Amino acid sequence: MAHYPLNHHLRQTYRFLAGLAGLHLALIGILGLAATWGDPLFHRGADWVLGMRVNPASAWLYAVVGVLLLAVVLIGGNIYHHVALVLGWTLLVVGTLVMAFLQTDANVLNASMSNVIWIIIDGLVVLTAGLYGKVGTPDAARAEQEAAHSSR
């Protein structure tokens, strides 16, 4: 069974880093929407924003995921823990799938390898933040520490 540390002393640092990842995705999405305004949804043009190639579909995706991540970072608690785990794994899977379709007609998000790298970096940051974001009572944390360090 998976063990997620409870009240980890670096959870605020990881939460801050997840917030930066969310801000990164939201900025790319918002600036991408501005740069591609009026283009067809799955346009395969040469629009670049902050080192990532975008079209309206990918810009909407980045904006929604970024704003969602920023919202759960601000909410905090175990909601943040669970959503960050799901978003982290989702970004890693999406990054891998996007890489598989880069040089094909199925590249509907108009992605490049720099998109893949940034999606995977953001996914790893968010996943790590989610792994260390679990919150509980001080008594529960103490009981967890005792159980982890007791001899069996």
| DSSP annotation of 62 | H
Query: Would you say 68 and 23 are in contact if contact means Cβ atoms under 8 Å apart?
Result: no
Task: Give the three-state DSSP class for 16.
Answer: helix
pLDDT tens over the chain, length 152 residues: 567 888 889 999 999 999 999 999 999 999 999 999 999 999 998 999 999 999 999 999 999 999 999 999 999 999 999 999 999 999 999 999 999 999 999 999 999 999 999 999 999 999 999 999 999 888 887 887 777 777 65
Task: Give the three-state DSSP class for 152.
Answer: coil
CA distance 122 to 95: 10
Predicted pLDDT of residue 150: 75
DSSP assignment of 42-80 equals T-----EETTEE--HHHHHHHHHHHHHHHHHHHH-HHHH
**Tokens 């063990």 -> residue:** 3
Residues facing 52 on adjacent strands: 49
CA distance 11 to 43: 40
Residue 108 sits at φ, ψ, to 5 deg, of -75, -15
